[in-house]
Amino acid sequence: MCNVVPAPPPTLEARRGLDVKVDKSSTRLQMLEPFKAWSGQDITDCAILIKVKGKCTTDHISMAGPWLKYRGHLDNISNNLLIGAINIENNKPNAVVNILNQEEGPVPATAR
């Protein structure tokens, strides 16, 4: 298996003809659908998933290490969302209450 990625073509015109292909079964890479344009309106009166207690570094938000291999797969990298952050409500990492059913669960699963 070749781990060398060739440089993209030097001109925008040449790059327009490129077709990026990602295996749908890949756990490391995922093609994203474009997000809808922002409406210009901020979200108000929304539920808060977690209020973090104390220090909250990038490693608390999204740990590196074994998770780093998923950085190109939004769905899989989301499985480590805030798992190292301490919830101010219960002093536990990776534990929040689902406002829909009042059950405690892991942050990523509850967010989904």
Instruction: Please give the chain's pLDDT, 112 residues, in tens.
Output: 567 778 888 898 888 888 888 999 998 889 888 889 999 999 999 999 999 999 888 888 887 777 777 778 888 888 888 999 999 999 999 999 999 999 999 999 999 9
Residue 27 · residue 70 · CB < 8 Å: yes
Number of other CB atoms surrounding residue 13 within 10 Å: 8
The confidence score (pLDDT) of residue 78 equals: 85
Euclidean distance between CA atoms 34 and 99, whole angstroms: 29
Domain range summary for the chain, segments of one domain joined by +? 45-112
